[in-house]
Amino acid sequence: MSESSCPKCKCTYPYMDRSMWVCPDCGHEWSDGNQGAAEGSTDGSDGALVVKDAHGTILNDGDSVIVIKDLKIKGSSSAVKGGTKVKQIRLQESSDGHNISCKIEGFGSMNLKSEYVKKSN
């Protein structure tokens, strides 16, 4: 796709307004399909997040995992017991290894290290 023309009246002088094309002739507005495609293909860095469980199995958003050892909770005297099932995990970038965001019943939202869980079916 080189230059754009209005899909409605074929006018060849549309201009870019923010992310939309606007036709000065008929006032038709449309988005550039090209742009969307370009954005979709730039997942080189974002899509590179790979989180593996204790056994090296790749985890995905929405997976269920099982905690394989007792995990102390910061600022709490309780611990998440090994064997606790955690549903609907969300993967996240983390500099300290807590690359799983999840909710655990009785504890609420917390972050886990993927090396302390295994994927559950």
Enumerate binding residues for Zn ion (CB under 5 A).
6, 8-9, 11, 23, 25-26, 28
Closer CB to Zn ion, residue 22 or residue 54? 22
Closer CB to Zn ion, residue 28 or residue 118? 28
Strand order in the sheet with 90-91: 90-91, 100-104, 108-112
Closer CB to Zn ion, residue 28 or residue 113? 28
From first CA to last CA, the distance across the chain in angstroms is 46
45 within 8 A of 61, measured Cβ to Cβ = no
CB of 9 to Zn ion, least distance (A): 3
